[in-house]
Amino acid sequence: MPDQTPWLTAAPLVTPRLHLEPLRVAHAREAAPVFNDVRLHTWIGGEPRSFEQLEAQYRRQSAGQSADGTQGWLNWLLRRASDGQLVGTVQATLSRPADERVDGRSPTDRRLVEAALAWVVGVDHQGNGYAREGALAMAHWLRAHEVDRLTAYIHPGNDASVAVARTLGLAPTDIVLDGEVRWSDSGPIRTGTGTR
């Protein structure tokens, strides 16, 4: 039976240059042209989605968790503070691996929460550090909310995402899934006070 502990809910975040807005279905109309570029999918796979497909995706993601409750979904759109332009997105998929131990305790004493991170910046806005800035804000927020481990899956040739992962304190592992290398931080190192 899945753990019934509620998942985190995305909150608005602010960085020096960006506003991170929790995803809403209404964002689809504005987001569709930003992400409707085949060049974006060189590294992330898939293909551009129509407005209708993106709206359906945002409707599912806005639920905040998978239908069976085994994953929590946190999604933010990145909006440039200077002019309000939507430039990208960051997301975290939360899970509680049942076979993990935290600080020597069994999962029933304290469940591990892992966040698989992703970031995408529209082609016209790449090269400005928005992915790094948005992903760093998300990672700080997740760590402040006691997420134990951060991971990301990155194609080996995606140098920009590798740089973001390194900024987040992630390192490559030996795990490869669908041609992407799993990057991870050092995992749970919390004390009784909740610090990292």
The secondary structure of residue 58, as a DSSP letter, is: H
Q: Do the domain assignments include residue 159?
A: yes
pLDDT at 4: 67
| Ordered per-residue pLDDT tens for the chain, 196 residues | 455 678 999 999 999 999 999 999 999 999 999 998 888 877 777 788 888 999 999 999 999 999 999 999 999 999 999 999 999 999 999 999 765 544 454 444 446 899 999 999 999 999 999 999 999 999 999 999 989 999 999 999 999 999 999 999 999 999 999 999 999 997 654 333 333 2
Contact at 8 Å (CB) between 35 and 49? Answer: yes
Q: Do the domain assignments include residue 190?
A: no
pLDDT at 127: 95
Q: Do the domain assignments include residue 143?
A: yes
Q: Which residue type is seen at 54?
A: L
CA dist 38 and 40 (Å) reads 5
Report the DSSP beta bridge partners of residue 190.
none
Q: Do the domain assignments include residue 7?
A: no
Q: Do the domain assignments include residue 24?
A: yes
pLDDT at 188: 55
Q: Do the domain assignments include residue 5?
A: no
pLDDT at 109: 41
The residue ranges of DSSP E strands in the chain, in sequence order, are 13-14, 18-22, 71-80, 86-95, 114-121, 149-154, 171-177, 180-184
- CATH number, domain at 157? 3.40.630.30
What count of Cα atoms within 13 Å lies in the side-chain half-sphere of residue 190? Answer: 21
pTM of the model: 0.86
Nearest Cα to Cα of residue 164 among 125, 123, 128, 122: 128
Q: Do the domain assignments include residue 49?
A: yes
Strands in 171-177's sheet, in edge-to-edge order, are: 13-14, 18-22, 71-80, 86-95, 114-121, 149-154, 180-184, 171-177
Neighbour tally for 189: CB within 10 Å: 12
pLDDT at 46: 76
Q: Which domain holds residue 138?
A: 13-184
The helix (run of H) or strand (run of E) holding residue 159 is helix 159-167
Domain count, the chain: 1
CA dist 61 and 75 (Å) reads 7
Q: Do the domain assignments include residue 196?
A: no
